Structure 1
Amino acid sequence: MNHQSLSAFIWSVADLLRGDYKQSEYGRVILPFTVLRRLDCVLEPSKAAVLLEFEAKTKAGLNPEPFLERKSGQRGLYNTSPLDMKTLMGDQDHIRENLYSYLQAFSPAVRDIFERFEFHAQIDRLAKAKLLYQVTEKFAGIDLHPEAVDNHQMGLVFEELIRKFAEISNETAGEHFTPREVIRLMVNLIFVEDDDVLSKPGVVRTIYDPTAGTGGMLSIAGEYLAEHNPQARLTVFGQELNPESYAICKADMLIKGQDIASIAFGNTLSEDGHHGQHFDYMLSNPPFGVEWKKVEKDVRKEHEQQGYNGRFGPGLPRVSDGSMLFLLHLISKMRPTKDGGSRFGIVLNGSPLFTGGAGSGESEIRRYVLENDLLEAIIGLPTDMFYNTGIATYVWIVSNRKPAARKGKVQLIDASGYWQKMRKSLGSKRKELSDAHIERVTRLFGEFAEASEDGRPISRIFKNEDFGYRTITVERPLKDEHGKPVIGSKGKQKGKPQPDSSLRDTENVPLSEDVDTYFKREVLPHAPDSWIDHDKTKVGYEIPFNRHFYVFKPPRPLAEIDAELKACTDRIKQMIEGLSA
């Protein structure tokens, strides 16, 4: 049975739920039951041996856990109940109690998944609706044994179900669900320069997502590597804040044979679930424009007390948008360059490109990224690509192991014109990337060259310092009632003209230009008595992405506009005459 027909069969359970459950709630029943049936089938061959081992080790007063894992042949997975889903069917009157008992007998890591799903609440609800036996019977009848459905196929089934539920529950989809084609593009971009390394037999690499959601990014990265090198092994790590998404992600990893202990629960910014660990690759789609007030105390404490030894040394963005904190978090998780380094992709909105002037938290974070030569590329995506927002989004590719050609440079790719209309909109998502679009952007990145299409630039390359500037403070003299400059009489200001704060101004001077040369050319001709207060000079960085791809379109000739207006007014005149006739 292929994964489409298998998931369609599982989907048929929805017919039983219709009426008692809203469509957006189907996933709360179907996802945990799918996981339960898969685990039930995986453990079936070792069931008898595990029960004997449990009895023996319990009698001997030993902790049975490590012995049971060995007997089951599954890391973190076993069940000590004599029940299974088939035997549950033999006692219709006590289905609820027996199902509870069966769930409680799973290993702690698996029990945690069902608790985060709040599966007990669903069992109660199904029992009250007199549907529990029928739903359990449906799932007990599906063959999800590994011989019938291998880990890869099971992963595809589970992903398809997750996607279906995300699509019919658009109010939360964008929070925890990144469109598959966007993930595929990001995965291509972080792996493309390492194809030679990744094709070596037996290569092992780690990948991490601090905002793992339901695990889509980690899954697609695993698929990519499996396609390109079946001998390569990708060990996945993640953290997720939403309990249901965390349960789905952990379940997905368990189904695929990954170590579920590597998926942590909690807020990544206030409680790093992988403290002190570093990774080869990372991917993240953090929430856009979401304030970080809840974790402000912890984040500020880390910034102030640990500085660059912590995650947030370079600076803190304004409290209204925490997405740049995830950028800093990922940078802190990069493997040191001497150990092979890292590359990561993160989706951000437009704000981190330019929000905040020189000296602000946002500018200081950009400064840190650019002055340490960590930014490889930024790709501008089309609008209407995500489920919960239609705004423009950008993929940043960050690495501390840039190839020689990229050192000291940043590539900007405008992919905003690469999209096709979806047959059916999903929330705010109306556009999608085709395979050809993904391939084109990947090639533009891989070629690392300037490029144009239809007279429009689509790939541009800049030096890191092209995005930097100095904000200089221009002072004008304070004058007394006779119009003469006021001269300071004390301390450092003695003998110097005093500034008039009401006339104070600032100018942004590109880093590539000498400040005094700029001042003489741009300021002194207009204000001959002005001077620069060098003590107030600040360095800032911004990336005005759209400005670099702007193509000037000259206005139409005036005669053409006049003729069009005349035709329009003549038409209105005729309509009025027709009404009054």
Structure 2
Amino acid sequence: MNNFQDKVNFIWTIAELLRGPYKKEEYGKVVLPMAVLRRFDCVLEDTKEEVLKQNEKYKHLPQESKDEILNRVAKQNFSNTSKYDFSKLLVDSDNIADNLRDYINGFSKTARDIIEYFDFDKQIEKMDRNNLLYLVVKRFSEIDLHPEVVSNVEMGYVFEELIRRFSEHAEAGDHYTPREVIRLMVHLLFMEDEEILTVPGITKTLYDPCAGTGGMGSVAQEYIREHNPTAQLIFFGQEINEESYAIAKADILIKGENAQNISFGNTLSKDAFPNVKHEYSISNPPYGVEWKPAEQAVRKEHEEKGFNGRFGAGLPRISDGQLLFLQHLVSKMKPVTKDNPKGSRIAIIMNGSPLFTGDAGSGESEIRRYLIENDLVEGIVAMPDQLFYNTGISTYVWILTNNKSPLRKGKIQLVNGIYFYQKMKKSLGNKRNELTKEHIDEIVRIYGDLKEGEHCKIFDNEDFGYRKVTIERPLRLNFKIDENRVQELYNQTAFNNLAKSKKKGEAGLKEIEEGQHQLQQQIIEALLSIQSGEIYKNREVFIKILKQLFKDKDIKVNATLLKAILSALSVKDETADVCKDSKGYVEADTDLRDTENIPLNEDIYEYFEREVKPHVPDAWIAEDSIKIGYEIPFTRHFYQYTPLRSSQEIMEEIKELEEGIMEKLKKVMG
């Protein structure tokens, strides 16, 4: 770890050389590709001369065939046929820009493509123009980034720490997850599978749809090597950020793995590996980030493919795509078969939103419903806050599997790990807390023991489900004809429309004056002619009175207008008779409408009789309103009551603060 920090500090001193022509947030445009180039340079150093000899020998071959031969000579998945390396570039300072371009163009195609993702040629020109290029190359030539000096895992640290420094204000989850958090996720991911940890020569795959610089894959591979040196964990990843993608691909290349396993692009809009399933997946998708760029493709897949696609369970609100990534990972799970008896496991870290956002019937709730009813959610671990560099929010590690152990079937384990951390001596951005090895071991132990306690609770799947039921109460109105209520007619749209015309100009005004306006006056005069102050508490009786009145006065009133008149002349009255519709059914009062979330493991009607009827005897359940919802109220299950402090204690504290302030003021004033 010290080795990693020393390298970061040294490279940062090189970045500081760019000050002036470059803003701090632009340092990465130079430093990241230069670090990749220097890493490549160190890796190829021992075989450089032999590659040049063989290049001359096989120069007549097609480029693709020649690259294949030279890569074997270089003992890597890439090679470089330029006569230059970092040391030789320094010999000719006057032509260093052209020579550096020659050096870059000498790489075999896969490595050259990586550098192109940095769009580095512009920076070569800019540094050369500002007399910085020679100095930057010289300083990078002084640092040894050979894998024997800086391991792949440490190099991942270097890149990610540099990215953090260059991107202090980046969105949470945009770049990388602290390594101690990844280590915890990796422990939880592999803890139920003894096979990969013990069987010699076993091969399995790990996938990350938001790969970043490949850090999660590197930590997982390191973990497997520690436990089973002959095992192979092949990493697949997709990344949308060009610089992070280039770094991840460079790392894969140097490890000697297949560079095609790292792909560029938006995972949600286009899966780079549509036909590949995995035993393991691990991810930290962006939190609270809009998925609008992928909306068209996602909606099309959801509507046309349903559960045959990736997003069959539902779509979350456009402002947060975390549950889309989770569904995508579920679609990548290898099914349980004879050749894959353990099925697949997923470790994904998200913020609190996927636990509870969205009411019954919403996209979020339907996704949770699908996951829980299919028994895919094994456990969720709440993490301490202030663990991430770019955000202080609380996060949760979800563990999913399509093959739960017998003790876990039909269950979901919640582990409250928010107290397992230590304060950092020095904050890094928003990161003020960190997990030690002891904290990780303790959380893993609690998770593995599967025993309820202070930090662990175990629930049946259906404990997180509920039925959202609409409770209706009858509409009760009284009716009266007096001047105040008659004036309310002018607040009714249907009545006001009588004084409007679709005709324009004079014709319209004439129609209003002669027709509709006159009808308004007739209705008002007719109503006031029978005002008596009497209150009617039965709507059917009052309707008969109105209809007879309008018949006697020869006033034609349609159903819409009659409804408006009734609305104007009525007020709510709990002592009135219930209102019924034309079919004799009791009409509901929308103002009194309420909902109840009834746990799935309770009978709706028993709950209604016990919890609702005693308080509102005239209520009933709207049978067609029942919706099933799922939420995981994590915090509620671990809530601990903290007694309020006494007023005397608070007053004493205020007094102490006031005295302290006065002392400081005295020093300032005097």
Measure how far apart 1:110 and its partner are: 1.4
- Write the distance in 2 (CA, Å) between the matches of 1:503 and 1:10: 67
**Are positions 1:55 and 2:148 aligned together?**
no
Q: Check whether the contact 1:173–1:387 (CA below 8 A) recurs between aligned residues.
A: no
Aligned to 1:105: 106
* Residue 561 of structure 1: how far off its partner (Å): 3.9
The corresponding residue for 1:516 is 605
Cα deviation, residue 497, structure 1: 2.4
1:127 — aligned with what?
Answer: 128
Superposition pairs for residues 34-433 of structure 1, below 5 Å?
A: 34-44=35-45, 45=47, 46-52=50-56, 54-58=58-62, 64-75=66-77, 77-140=78-141, 142=143, 144=145, 149=149, 153-167=151-165, 169-172=167-170, 174=172, 175-338=174-337, 339=340, 340-433=342-435
Aligned to 1:29: 30
Q: What are the superposed Cα offsets for residues 1-47 of structure 1, whole Å, 9 maximum, x if unpaired? A: 96665666555534644555445444433332232233234345241
Distance 1:361 1:92 in 2: 61
Per-residue CA distance 1:351-373 (angstroms, 9 max, x = gap): 11111111001100110111011
CA separation in 1, counterparts of 2:317 and 2:67?
47
TM superposition shift of 1:268 = 0.8
User: Could you tell me which amino acid in structure 2 is paired with residue 343 of structure 1?
Assistant: R
How far did residue 139 of structure 1 move?
3.5
Tell me, what secondary structure is at the counterpart of 2:61? helix
Distance 1:397 1:154, change over 3 A: closer
CA–CA separation in structure 2 for the residues paired with 1:408 and 1:318: 28
Cα distance in structure 2, aligned partners of 1:227 and 1:170: 33
What displacement does 1:282 show? 1.2
Query: Residues 501, 268 of structure 1: CA spacing in aligned structure 2 closer, same or farther, 3 A cutoff?
Result: same
The one-character-per-residue Cα deviations of 1:440-499 (angstroms, maximum 9, x if unpaired) are 1011111111122xxxxx11111110000001111222346413334444xxxx443233
CA distance in 2, matches of 1:205, 1:105: 35
Aligned partner of 2:228: which letter?
A: N
Which stretch shows the higher mean deviation, 111-120 or 157-166? 157-166
Letter of the 1:347 partner, please give it.
I
CA distance in 2, matches of 1:178, 1:34: 21
SS at match of 1:507: strand
- What per-residue deviation string (whole Å, max 9, x for no partner) do you get for residues 49-103 of structure 1? 5413541214xx985444444444433x133434433433333222111211221
Establish whether residue 461 from structure 1 lines up as the match of residue 458 from structure 2: yes
Deviation at 1:262, TM superposition (A): 0.9
Check the 8 A contact 1:13/1:138 in 2, yes or no.
Answer: yes
Please tell me the residue identity of whatever aligns with 2:285: P
- Contact 2:598 / 2:607 at 8 angstroms: preserved in 1? yes
User: Against the structure 1 CA distance between its residues 114 and 561, is the aligned structure 2 distance closer, same or farther, given a 3 Å change threshold?
Assistant: same
Q: CA deviation at 1:171?
A: 1.7
Deviation at 1:215, TM superposition (A): 1.5
Shift of 1:162: 3.0
Q: Distance in 2 between matches of 1:164 and 1:477?
A: 66
User: Structure 1 stretch 506-515 or stretch 157-166: which is displaced more?
Assistant: 157-166
Return the offset for 1:197.
Answer: 3.6
Alpha carbons 1:54, 1:68 under 8 Å: kept: no
State the partner residue of 2:474: 477
Query: Can you list the C-alpha shifts for 1:104-147, whole angstroms capped at 9, x where unaligned?
Result: 2322221221112222122122211212223223434555556x
Match of 1:539 among 624, 628, 635: 628
- Of all paired residues, the percent bearing the same amino acid is 51
- Provide the secondary structure at the position in 2 that maps to 1:276: coil
Q: Secondary structure at 1:193's aligned position in 2?
A: coil
Structure of greater Rg:
2
SS in 1 for 2:281: strand
Partner of 1:579: none
Check whether the contact 2:43–2:254 (CA below 8 A) recurs between aligned residues. no
Q: Provide Cα deviations, 1:226-252, integer angstroms capped at 9, x if missing partner.
A: 211211111111111111111122122
Per the normalisation by structure 1, the TM-score is 0.88
Asked if 2 retains the 8 angstrom alpha-carbon contact of 1:4 and 1:157, the reply is no
* Alignment CA distance shift 1:84-1:474 (3 Å): same
Q: Is the 8 A contact 1:357 1:540 kept in 2?
A: yes
CA separation in 1, counterparts of 2:372 and 2:7? 49
Given the superposition, is the C-alpha separation of residues 502 and 141 from structure 1 closer, same or farther in structure 2, using an over 3 Å criterion?
A: closer
CA distance, structure 2, for counterparts of residue 436 and residue 230 of structure 1: 24
Residue 292 of structure 1, CA deviation:
1.3
* Counterpart contact for 2:196–2:228, Cα < 8 Å: no
Unaligned runs of 5+ in 2: 478-536, 539-575, 663-670
CA–CA distance in 2 between the matches of 1:81 and 1:72? Answer: 13
Question: How far off is 1:183 after superposition?
Answer: 1.0
Q: Deviations over 1:480-536 (max 9, x none)?
A: 6413334444xxxx4432333332221111001001100111111222222212221
Structure 2 equivalent of residue 455 of structure 1: none
Q: Distance in 2 between matches of 1:567 and 1:278?
A: 60
The verdict on how the C-alpha distance between 1:195 and 1:163 changes in structure 2, with shifts beyond 3 A counting, is: farther
Of 521, 527, 530, 2:616 maps to 527
8 Å CA contact retained: 1:50, 1:80: no
Residues paired across the two proteins, number: 557
Instruction: Specify whether residues 161 and 308 from structure 1 end up closer, same or farther in structure 2 by C-alpha distance, changes over 3 A only.
Output: closer
Q: CA RMSD, aligned part only?
A: 2.9
Contact 1:378-1:396 within 8 A present in 2 as well = yes
Instruction: Specify every segment of 5 or more residues in structure 1 that has no aligned partner in the other structure, as ranges.
Output: 453-457, 577-581
Tell whether the 8 Å contact from 1:474 to 1:506 is kept in structure 2 after alignment.
yes
Measure, in 2, the Cα distance between the counterparts of 1:126 and 1:535: 69
CA distance in 2, matches of 1:236, 1:571: 57
Looking at structure 1, the residues matched to 639 and 153 of structure 2 have their Cα atoms a distance apart, in angstroms, of: 43
